Structure 1
Amino acid sequence: MDRSLPPRRLLILSCSATKRAGPKYMPAIDRYDGPLWQTLRTTDPDGRLASVAVLSAHLGFRDARTTIELYDAHMNQERADAMIAGGLGTRWPRPKTQPDDGIEL
């Protein structure tokens, strides 16, 4: 395998309730600290084997290199339905300037 080429695999992980403390903003791949994220950091520390994305109840679908704050949000059916209805092009979290759609952010 030619390691000079970008990875052709996409790994999508859910966010983790366990998060690491640290600076106010840090990459999601470093912030999340559940078992899958620990395994990922151990087996692919340089990000050469796969591109990694995260599905977060608070942030939606993002690249795992996106810097994030510490937060606590849980996925529920209403939030999942709203994300699905909006598709990948919908900004998440929803801007506070939009009318209240009944989804607690």
Structure 2
Amino acid sequence: MAYLGDAIDAHLAVATGDDAELFRELRAAFVESARRQFGLLGRARCDGNWEMAALRLKSLAATFHAEDLIALAEEALTGAPGEPAVLRRIAAALDSLEPTG
């Protein structure tokens, strides 16, 4: 899987210009929001909650043109609610967004 941060970082750079602090703040907010939706997805106990969390994750990813994350959210939408394989792939994608050092 491609590093999702490249697309997200590129779109944030356009939005924030030379303001490094704003860039870090918006990126952290994106990651926090994506993790929140993933948490809701993982805790969903009915089809409706699963679908809403997947739709929100997809919309958030689309905001920053994170194509791999959009595809994973779409996979969650079309698959069975609670599908562990898609949850693992989404978790790995979100982990790739975390700063490495």
| Alignment TM-score, normalising by the size of structure 1 | 0.24
Relative CO higher for 1 or 2, CA cutoff 8 Å, sep ≥ 6?
Answer: 2
Q: Select the structure that is richer in strand.
A: 1
TM-score, normalized by length of structure 2? 0.24
Q: Rg larger in 1 or in 2? A: 1
The structure that is helix-richer by fraction is: 2
